[in-house]
Structure 1
């Protein structure tokens, strides 16, 4: 073998033993990348650590606030619980407080317990705490149609409320230069409201009063109490005469010139009735700020289907949940009778600007309980003891007035709808 051949063979041998450079580079890069990924992940974790800790703190704060946040209750629940606690105690404050702790044991019940301990039960009753009584008054606004129609409620905590009213208007005139301007003043009068005592008797099952901790039981007691007061209020504010310690209602505040009989039962006569009522107010310069209609359900239901000679509805806006008549809201109450005078089938329709209707109200609400008394139901005397009931007596004080009598107009002898 020549030297040249030996050299070539050596070179071949050297080449076969040399490492694969691409593999070396690949391994080196992979190793470097692995280290870099670990380093990058470490940096990311380091940067996120404060944010994770902050998020954890926020979640803990949210949980703490959720646990410590005061519960909210529907209006009137405090008054209902106060009544139930009184019913259980039967005049024994310690028993009433015990009932609060066992039946509810929350912030509201603890407030009621404090109020019970501070109350005076020597006369068999107690004043509901003002904050609870105010909630009952608020609820009356939606249950009493006179309140819902927009009567203004003014405080009368002293038992008397005096309101000025204009009985004549001031005058204005054009004058020439250097001519004295005549001094004129409106003539004024006064309306005096004196508190009248409304006592409502509400019989409630003892099982419901003392053996149920369900919120539904509280709501039931509250609703019965509110409905009983609202029903009698509406009766007074609409039609009571003002005699025998009752308020004078709208029917008897209307001036004689604004009270007239219906024109008849035809569609044309019904329309004429309404137009005359509107004219009674507008013709007396009533401002028509908050005018509304009051009528019996029978009257409204007749208007719903009243049609002209072409079969078209005459009063389509009377239909629906918020009925209106000539653009003015319609309020319906069974406290407007349908059995008046004549053949015992007459009713009335009222048109009133409620901006002049005033309720003077003392905010106090007095509650008493009795499990052995009796009450009238549909003309029959019932015994609370024999029926396993407790009687709740609620007393409120208020009066009602209309600032300007011209703001009330009434149609009597209404028989359409019979």
Structure 2
């Protein structure tokens, strides 16, 4: 946990030189300030130069400051206030600050910092900040630590004016938020707990976990009863607790906290031992008369990662097929994953004999629980694709529509006319579009060896799952966003960027990026697209380049974005590995999610074969219409198994203007490397 704080110190002006505005002093000392806190100087981290602010206002910089090396006595600093020649808000603010400091009206400085390691000071509400990171120094009115003083003040020359101006626009600083933890952190920097004695007076040792838990619960109940008694006595007498009562009450409360922590550990150990326990005698045992009844603990096996059950089901069916009837699917599922596994429950319920014809859609044979296995794989696949990320994590959803249903949209409105007396009324026409999304199929074939299939390790299951998912995800992403992807009638849809006239990027630095965004937004809004449903789609390399850009203060230029997505200019970002790389001049798309029709069957079809011969290419040339000579690889000859995965889906733009595209994007790259 981190705590954002401020620490104050007095300013004592001992010398003024109007030629240079330079302030020297002490930023922090190891003394306790008036808030009760201590900032250890040797644990302070910083990076020079830092902004010198007015009253901790991030929008009001008045100069720059450099810290000297920390010593055990404190950290000295040198702050510079520029001499501004041009009239304006900045000159007025800096001059006001200088006059206020010089005349002693502002007598304190304050560091804005983030706590990295800290501990509470015993007997007080103060905090000892063992390690911290300073962001800025401010001139403030309210003092708190008298030992940190200013030793001299003089004017600086105009050389620092340009640097201070770089801190002026949107310069962040410490927020000043004080958030004290409600519970002391454990460890060397935290508050230690006094152990609670639970041994009975007779001297009997408690050896079992149950005995220790029972004793702790009894001790806690006794403490709570005594605390209620103390509080009730004070309430009946119409007063607050006196010092002795407070001390006893606090001691009892601390013991209760210690007992609660100990109970958590003991119950965790009890659950672990319950997992390791083995039955010794099946005969029922009558409970002892003085035994304490305890609640039974049900331990469930951890749920596998998303998509693993689907891969296991595919493996079981493939191995049963390979055995040529020697083993049933239930036998293989039981041997690999046990009778309590979801896969065993599915194949035993389906009751499909191994070696039967399974070249059809496996989902047709699955009822009830098995559908959840396919849904689990689809959920695993969804965050891997662009279309799957819509509608998640505050990203607007695509417009979901059914297959083979006419979708009528109005592309142009009619007009009304003023008509004079006795004049004919003119006619008007409305423009409509009709769209129907047919069931189109995206398919992939993944080849694995029989040796891999026969391995029962979790890593083998993951390899099979990832091989099936990655191939499907790559094709969906590429065809959804690639501007060069046109429609193929009855086979595949056009990408949402196909046919869109792009806007050319103006450059790579921060100002050029903002200019690109303005140009793209203008195109987007001019087409009556609501900005609230806008979504950025870009290559992960482009997002990474944006996240690495920093301003002159060393802070992120575009703080909301990372290589995994986030937000950019207030709109959500979807990234993909299958966009053109940024070094080649890639694309960035701004998409109106509500204007993209999307139809999805929601399932996955899987076929398996070991007799097939495959052309091991991602762009096969052979077909049944115009066969050509080519090199083929036999699954039987190479002891391999081919899995074919298919998804039924389709998409289309509701309006041609639903997408705006920026091309030749090299954001964040040096101009010389483009």
In structure 2, what is the equivalent of residue 190 of structure 1? 434
> Is residue 348 of structure 2 the alignment partner of residue 113 of structure 1?
yes
Residues 398 and 153 from structure 1, CA distance in 2 versus in 1: closer, same or farther, beyond 3 angstroms? farther
Cα offsets for 1:181-240 (capped at 9, x unmatched) = xxx99864332111111111122232332231x444334322332222112111121123
Cα offsets for 1:28-86 (capped at 9, x unmatched) = xxxxxxxxxxxxxxxxxxxxxx9979963x64xx35xx37x798554433322221012
> Distance in 2 between the 1:360 and 1:394 partners?
18
In structure 1, what is the equivalent of residue 398 of structure 2? 152
Residues 110 and 72 from structure 1, CA distance in 2 versus in 1: closer, same or farther, beyond 3 angstroms? same
Q: 1:274 aligns with which of 517, 537, 545?
A: 517
Q: 2:447 aligns with which of 174, 197, 203?
A: 203
Residues 320 and 355 of structure 2 are in contact (CA less than 8 Å); yes or no, is this contact kept in structure 1? no
> Is residue 564 of structure 2 the alignment partner of residue 329 of structure 1?
no
User: SS of the counterpart of 1:409?
Assistant: strand
> Is residue 535 of structure 2 the alignment partner of residue 292 of structure 1?
yes
- Match runs of 1:360-399 below 5 Å: 360-372=599-611, 373-376=613-616, 384-385=635-636, 388-399=639-650
Residues 321 and 354 of structure 2 are in contact (CA less than 8 Å); yes or no, is this contact kept in structure 1? no
> Is residue 87 of structure 2 the alignment partner of residue 87 of structure 1?
no
> Distance in 2 between the 1:126 and 1:54 partners?
58
> Distance in 2 between the 1:367 and 1:319 partners?
35
Name the one with the larger helix percent: 1
In structure 2, what is the equivalent of residue 102 of structure 1? 335
Residues 537 and 575 of structure 2 are in contact (CA less than 8 Å); yes or no, is this contact kept in structure 1? yes
> Is residue 445 of structure 2 the alignment partner of residue 224 of structure 1?
no
In structure 2, what is the equivalent of residue 166 of structure 1? 410
User: SS of the counterpart of 2:309?
Assistant: helix
> Distance in 2 between the 1:204 and 1:390 partners?
6
> Is residue 655 of structure 2 the alignment partner of residue 413 of structure 1?
no
Q: 1:402 aligns with which of 653, 656, 660?
A: 653
1:403 shift after superposition: 2.3
Aligned pair count reads: 343
User: SS of the counterpart of 2:574?
Assistant: strand
Comparing both chains, which one has the higher relative contact order based on Cα–Cα distances under 8 Å and sequence gaps of 6 or more? Answer: 1
TM-score normalised by the chain length of structure 1: 0.68
1:96 shift after superposition: 2.8
- Match runs of 1:32-47 below 5 Å: none
Cα offsets for 1:341-396 (capped at 9, x unmatched) = xxx93321111122333321123422111234335268897654565432211111
Residues 249 and 320 from structure 1, CA distance in 2 versus in 1: closer, same or farther, beyond 3 angstroms? closer
> Distance in 2 between the 1:355 and 1:405 partners?
13
In structure 2, what is the equivalent of residue 181 of structure 1? none
> Distance in 1 between the 2:573 and 2:595 partners?
17
> Distance in 1 between the 2:288 and 2:564 partners?
54
User: SS of the counterpart of 1:231?
Assistant: helix
> Distance in 2 between the 1:88 and 1:153 partners?
41
1:326 shift after superposition: 0.4
In structure 2, what is the equivalent of residue 13 of structure 1? none
Quote the RMSD (CA, aligned, Å): 3.9
**Unmatched 5+ residue regions in structure 1?**
1-49, 174-183
1:276 shift after superposition: 1.2
Q: 2:544 aligns with which of 301, 308, 318?
A: 301
> Distance in 2 between the 1:305 and 1:265 partners?
13
Q: Which has the larger radius of gyration?
A: 1
TM-score normalised by the chain length of structure 2: 0.44
> Is residue 596 of structure 2 the alignment partner of residue 357 of structure 1?
yes
> Distance in 2 between the 1:185 and 1:72 partners?
60
Residues 381 and 330 from structure 1, CA distance in 2 versus in 1: closer, same or farther, beyond 3 angstroms? farther
Q: Identify which range, 234-243 or 289-298, moves more after superposition.
A: 289-298
> Distance in 1 between the 2:656 and 2:616 partners?
36
> Distance in 2 between the 1:138 and 1:185 partners?
46
User: SS of the counterpart of 2:601?
Assistant: strand
Residues 145 and 53 from structure 1, CA distance in 2 versus in 1: closer, same or farther, beyond 3 angstroms? farther
In structure 2, what is the equivalent of residue 251 of structure 1? 497
1:291 shift after superposition: 1.9
Cα offsets for 1:124-159 (capped at 9, x unmatched) = 243233333222222222111232133437474xx5
**Unmatched 5+ residue regions in structure 2?**
1-286, 392-396, 418-427, 620-630
1:267 shift after superposition: 4.3
